[in-house]
A and B are shown apart, each in its own frame.
Chain A
Amino acid sequence: MKKNLLYEVYVELFLLALGAFYLGTAFSIKESSLKLNDTNLPPKFYPILVGSAWVLSVLFVLIKSIIKYKKCEDDGQPAKLKFVPKNVLVASGAFILYIVGLYLIGFIPSNILFTMGILTYLQKEKWKANLIYTIIFTAIVFVLFNFVLTIYLPEGLIFR
């Protein structure tokens, strides 16, 4: 329980930092050279409104969480999470590589590598099914998008 509360405090700190960054940027929005009339709102008015509401509400939530955290007795139990942390790391890493792959080598090779990589991590013993699925699914998506929907998937910088 206590560990979970600590997570909440961390996330709220992060959201506070994000909000402060947003608000700071909002203040630095330039006045428009275009003057329409006197009653028009300046471009930074609404972002500053939203940013202030964001920062204030996160502060409120954060203070509440910290008080709750201080009051909570440590039961020594690990945090309950909806996701397996190791899987999140592996999936995020693969995701980054996939995006880089789309830039560099295009959709087909990076999709095959990405799908095969994740599937091997999850179920190595079913490698035959994994391989068949990877090839067929990549082919279906490629044909469907490139030829039927005429949305051209990235070709990459290297193989043109």
Chain B
Amino acid sequence: MLENLLIGVQTVIVPINLAFILGGVIIGQVVGILPGLGPVVTIAVLLPFMYHLDATPALMALCGIYYGSQFGGAISSILVNAPGTESAVITCLDGYPMAKKGRAGEALATAAMSSFVGGIIATILFIALAQGLSKLIVSFGAPEYLALMIFALICIAGISEGSSKSKVFVSICMGLAVGTVGMDIVTGTPRFNYGSFMLMDGIDFVVVAIGLYAFAEVLKNLRKKDERTEESTIAVQDKVKISFKQMVKFIPLWIRQGIIGFVLGVFPGIGAGTSTPLAYMMERGIDRKNPNWGEGEPKGVAAPECSNNACSIGALVPMLTMGIPGSGTAAIMLSAMMVLGVTPGPTLIKTNPSLFWGLAVSFLVGSLILLVVNLPLVKYCIKIVQLPPTFLFMSVWILAIVGAFSCNNRIFDVSLIFIFSLLSLAMNAAKFPLSPFLIATLLGDMIEKNLNRTAVMCHRNIIEFVSRPYVAVLLVMCVLVLVLPPIIKKISAKKDAKIAQAAGNAAEQ
């Protein structure tokens, strides 16, 4: 363990790696502050610049963008009441009221400190868990891998918040379908190319990612002046500082939410969008008598911010140890790893220990940099929101188009982007989620490969497949994921009803 950490430290302290971590977290922070621009598009746009780089610094920068954006999201939540990322939505609930009461600095410092602690707790858990998990996964054969991927997809469909499960399922099927375009893996039979030579190789994953996300994000922001809603920014009046006394009070909360956020993040499909409301509700439940909730309670900032950072690092566990993406951002990072010539999966820890442990240590260093940069500079960071977004988003649009072109050096891919853009707008309007689509596109290939191998290994006999011990365990977990959440919801609804009834009775008396 200690020697692994030393390998990591050795990798990180190389100046070029430090520089890339710094660059990554700062870009991530800016992206997080800007409402509308997400890490998926940022990483996709930056990919062409990565081809020439060494894998280790490039991946450190990409991971930095990822957790840096979680960090930055809180700033626009607190000061503008417009969350910069999905994970910072809950931070608005108490962060914005705090800022309105003139405690913006305290809120920002609380958010930064909580993110930092959440990141540290999650990184420690990551280091503790990664090696054991990798060892387990290495023993997996094709049938187990197939079951693992089915489990991942079912998690995504089963636990997703917000959109209905059946819609998530449709998105997953469409993503899998996009993955089948091109040649059959085993026999080389062309499929779904409709006579076109261009589609023989399949559709590049980066093209799908850019198409699904970039156009929609750009369109949200490219508006005429009279169509824009002016948001007022609250100025920071007090000092960006959090007292030592306050920090001591937060320690149990941080430990709780850090661990829970991390564990949730490990499951595919549970992103910060699910973990932050949970963290908020939980802390609110623990501190029920406090009347300040929703009107500027610092705990309401600390809980979601700690949770979302822990969750984002937890999501890197399945990505790095199994090669399975848990979110849209993880999917694009996985494809970036493949572009850089790194094979993600359980063997990574053995074949490239300096990269693996270097990444783990870079999370610590990156979090520290974010904290140091954040506390004094946060007042100036918010100016980014006030700049007119037109030029920035125009640049993103063009870089996205050029980036798609550079995947294979053909204009055909740019037309594919256009098609996927229209599809994403339509799906957006009908509330179909897009990240399951993206994850399924990436997984589709691997699922089919392992399905074919499984068929051969188990002689096309389903009983032989199911009776493998790990497969059986994973399939039982699939059933649990599908069955448990509705039951829990029902039980908690009953409990709520009972409490409400009791309260009603008490009021009558």
Interface residues of A (CB under 8 A from B): 7-8, 10-12, 14-15, 18-19, 22, 25-26, 29-32, 34, 36-37, 39-41, 43-44, 46-47, 50-51, 53-54, 57-58, 60-61, 64, 81-84, 87-88, 91-92, 95-96, 98-99, 102-103, 107, 111, 114-115, 118-119, 121-123, 129, 133, 137, 141, 145, 149, 151-154
CB distance from A44 to the nearest CB of B (A): 8
CB distance from A96 to the nearest CB of B (A): 7
Contacts of B184 in A (CB 8 A): 29, 32, 43
User: For chain B residues 358-401, which have a beta carbon within 8 Å of chain A?
Assistant: 390-391, 394-395, 398-399, 401
| Chain B interface residue number, banded | 35 or more
Contact A141 B189 (CB under 8 A): no
Q: List 11 A-B contacts (CB under 8 A).
A: A8-B431, A32-B189, A43-B186, A53-B176, A54-B170, A83-B425, A87-B224, A99-B415, A118-B222, A141-B398, A149-B49
Secondary structure class of chain B's binding surface, majority of residues: helix
Number of A-B contacts (CB under 8 A): 179
Bound CA span A118–B393, Å: 11
Is the CB of B411 closer than 8 A to any CB of chain A? yes
Most buried by B among A19, A25, A39, A98: A39
Contact of A46 with B173 at beta-carbon distance under 8 Å, contacts A83-B220, A137-B395 already known: no
Is the CB of B414 closer than 8 A to any CB of chain A? yes
Bound CA span A99–B170, Å: 30
CB distance from B141 to the nearest CB of A (A): 15
Contact of A32 with B173 at beta-carbon distance under 8 Å, contacts A83-B425, A152-B409, A153-B402 already known: no
Contact A122 B223 (CB under 8 A): yes
Task: Name the one of A18, A40, A92, A118 contacting B455, with C-beta atoms under 8 angstroms.
Answer: A40
Task: Name the one of A22, A29, A54, A83 contacting B219, with C-beta atoms under 8 angstroms.
Answer: A83
Task: Name the one of B176, B223, B406, B460 contacting A84, with C-beta atoms under 8 angstroms.
Answer: B223
Contact A96 B409 (CB under 8 A): no
Is the CB of B506 closer than 8 A to any CB of chain A? no
| 8 closest cross-chain pairs (CB), A and B | A32-B187, A11-B430, A43-B184, A54-B173, A8-B430, A43-B189, A151-B406, A50-B176
Is the CB of B227 closer than 8 A to any CB of chain A? yes
Contact of A122 with B224 at beta-carbon distance under 8 Å, contacts A99-B418, A145-B48, A149-B49 already known: yes
User: For chain B residues 197-217, which have a beta carbon within 8 Å of chain A?
Assistant: 215-216
Contact of A50 with B170 at beta-carbon distance under 8 Å, contacts A30-B189, A88-B425 already known: no
Contact A40 B186 (CB under 8 A): yes
Contacts of A46 in B (CB 8 A): 180, 448, 451-452
Known: A57-B169, A149-B52. 10 other contacts (CB 8 A): A7-B429, A15-B170, A22-B192, A39-B456, A39-B460, A53-B173, A60-B166, A61-B170, A115-B394, A149-B49
Contact B430 A29 (CB under 8 A): no
Contacts of A25 in B (CB 8 A): 191-192, 194
Is the CB of B249 closer than 8 A to any CB of chain A? no
Secondary structure class of chain A's binding surface, majority of residues: helix
User: For chain B residues 399-425, which have a beta carbon within 8 Å of chain A?
Assistant: 399, 401-402, 405-406, 409, 411, 414-415, 418, 421-422, 425
Bound CA span A129–B411, Å: 29
CB distance from B134 to the nearest CB of A (A): 28
Task: Name the one of B180, B225, B398, B451 contacting A111, with C-beta atoms under 8 angstroms.
Answer: B398
Q: Could you give, for residues 215-235 of chain B, a 1 whenever the CB lies within 8 Å of some chain A CB and a 0 otherwise? A: 110111011110100000000
Task: Name the one of A32, A51, A81 contacting B188, with C-beta atoms under 8 angstroms.
Answer: A32
Contact B399 A22 (CB under 8 A): no
Contact of A91 with B222 at beta-carbon distance under 8 Å, contacts A82-B428, A153-B405 already known: yes
Contact B431 A103 (CB under 8 A): no
By beta carbon, the residue of chain B nearest A156 is: B411
CB distance from B491 to the nearest CB of A (A): 25
Bound CA span A34–B187, Å: 6
By beta carbon, the residue of chain B nearest A18 is: B174
Task: Name the one of A8, A39, A58, A145 contacting B406, with C-beta atoms under 8 angstroms.
Answer: A145
Bound CA span A91–B191, Å: 32
